[in-house]
Amino acid sequence: MSFYKAIIRPVLFQLNPEAAHHLTVEACRVAGVIPGIPSLSKAVLSRHDPMLQTEVAGLQLDNPIGLAAGWDKSGRAIRMLGGLGFGFTEIGSISARSSRGNPKPRLFRIPQEQAILVNYGLPNDGAEIVRNRLAKRPPGQCLGVNIVKTNDGPQAPECTAEEILADYERSVSLLQHQASYLMLNLSCPNAHAGKNFFDQPGNISELLQRLEPLGIVCPIFLKIPPLDDPLSHELILAECEAFDFVRGFCFNLPSGKPDSLHFKGDVNSYGNLPGAVAGRPVASLINRCISGMYSQMDPSRYAIIGAGGVFTAEDAYEKIRLGASLVQLYTAMIYEGPGIVGRICCGLSELLRRDGFQHISEAVGTAHRSN
């Protein structure tokens, strides 16, 4: 058993989930400003293997394992996160204006399912403050910034199309020069009631057209709903076709109620709690989405970042073989701790050698070629 699972996790799990999350982020922030700590941590936790080094959308990465958005919501702990062995880190979601998010409680653990319920509602410090914070970060770290429309709360009047587009435009304008890539979150499952603006045909291309005059300087990925029907993927690809700066996709959490995901355990204790499920229960749905999108897209132009239910090297490898070039984790950090990154990297190297691959890029999408 790891030190984290034996000592640290039991202490954190005595706290309510959001307090534990805040404490962990703050500890990373403090550790990150102590000279030598991030580099020492990186030396201990990183696993260097040329087989895992990869280039995606022009980004040079030491390995394909990243930290998903949601863990460091406003870029407070990026110095230390760079020392945990990830190939890349994504912060956010960040909106044009600061947001307090949804009322508390808004984070719940479901340990028996290796899952959490997330109902944060996108609290963050706002694009301008985050931009100034990122301007002070050390060079060399691959950092993604997840951008979303400002959540003004459930009592706020419904936004017009112009207000939504302007919100994204301001955030992209402020943050694109401080990011290695941008992830446009078009489908947050716990911030908008009713039909999502970007579900409507033409609105994705309208946003991209709005961003084009900004002179996009970094790759842009789109975080889209976890729909596994071919028509949905076809429509999204058609809307992106004219915009070369769009380089790939990531699937968001499903917005359905927890009991719709067929948990193995008793749903009565958490079936009525608000929030979107993250962790093991969403893995199969996300995997179907990855497979479906990969089978329709041009892999020489687009890449998929696979996130959802990644706890082991086998989990990551399955997503890679289905079509993901990169893989992110979040919930595994809560249950397994930072050592999970190195274990996954070591396991991936073993799986690649077992299957006769010389490099991680050779494994991407091979599940389709073997059919």
The CATH number given to whatever domain includes residue 296 is 3.20.20.70
Four-point Cα dihedral 173, 177, 183, 185, nearest 10:
-30
Q: In the chain, where do the E strands start and end?
A: 54-56, 59-61, 65-67, 88-94, 107-110, 115-118, 143-147, 181-185, 220-224, 246-251, 276-279, 303-307, 324-329
Q: Between these two residues, 195 and 101, which has the higher pLDDT value?
A: 101
Quick one: average pLDDT of 195-215? 93
Q: Which amino acid is at 246?
A: V
The DSSP symbol for 250 reads E
* Cα–Cα nearest to 309, from 333, 336, 282: 282
φ/ψ of residue 161, rounded to 5: -60, -40
Q: What is the rounded distance in angstroms from the CA atom of residue 50 to the CA atom of residue 65?
A: 14
Query: Which pLDDT belongs to residue 191?
Result: 66
**Could you tell me the pLDDT band of residue 190, with boundaries at 50, 70 and 90?**
low
Quick one: average pLDDT of 334-360? 98
Question: Hey, which residues does 236 pair with through a beta bridge?
Answer: none
Predicted confidence (pLDDT) at residue 345 exceeds the cutoff of 80: yes
Q: Which amino acid is at 284?
A: S
Predicted confidence (pLDDT) at residue 260 exceeds the cutoff of 60: no
**Could you tell me the pLDDT band of residue 196, with boundaries at 50, 70 and 90?**
confident
Q: Which structure tokens are listed for 5? A: 């699972």
Predicted confidence (pLDDT) at residue 225 exceeds the cutoff of 60: yes
Number of structural domains in the chain: 1
Quick one: average pLDDT of 230-247? 97
Q: What is the rounded distance in angstroms from the CA atom of residue 10 to the CA atom of residue 174?
A: 40
Quick one: average pLDDT of 31-58? 95
pTM for the structure as a whole: 0.95
Q: CB under 8 Å to 57, separation ≥6 — which residues?
A: 181, 219, 221, 247, 248, 303
Predicted confidence (pLDDT) at residue 258 exceeds the cutoff of 50: no
Predicted confidence (pLDDT) at residue 193 exceeds the cutoff of 50: no
Q: What is the rounded distance in angstroms from the CA atom of residue 251 to the CA atom of residue 325?
A: 13
**Could you tell me the pLDDT band of residue 195, with boundaries at 50, 70 and 90?**
low
Query: Which pLDDT belongs to residue 267?
Result: 52
Range of the domain at 39: 3-369
**Could you tell me the pLDDT band of residue 153, with boundaries at 50, 70 and 90?**
confident
